[in-house]
Amino acid sequence: MVGVGFAIVWAFVFFQLLDTGLAIFIVLAVIVGLIIHASMWGPQSSFITEQFPARLRYTGSSLSYTFAGFVAGATPAILTALLRQSQTSWMPSLYVTFLLLLTAVAVLAAGRIRGPVEAVA
């Protein structure tokens, strides 16, 4: 959950650095953003698979990962529309913050599978 906190702060710093238009700041914004992204991306596969019993693990993790990609696919268009509408980087930053908070709530609500691990027959 620490990664989400860093990501929320970085959402605002990231867009401010992009607003400068200076290549060095844009590169810095992307590099730090990718580090934060990797810190949350790394444990994602094990977290998703833990949400399903062994007999449903491949299907459940595949469907949930694919569905999440489908839903999140609209994010670049939404961010572009927010930036165009507001003419400020605050709205995209707030949208990213909303998504990160939604993610944190979902992770906390999901918990972990309890009980013995089932063998695949």
Distances (CA, A) of 70 to 30, 64, 67: 23, 10, 5
Q: What is the pLDDT of residue 29?
A: 95
Q: Which of 40, 50, 43 is nearest to 100 (CA)?
A: 40
- pLDDT tens digits, residue range 87-109? 989 999 999 999 999 988 988 88
- pLDDT tens digits, residue range 22-46? 999 999 999 999 998 888 888 887 8
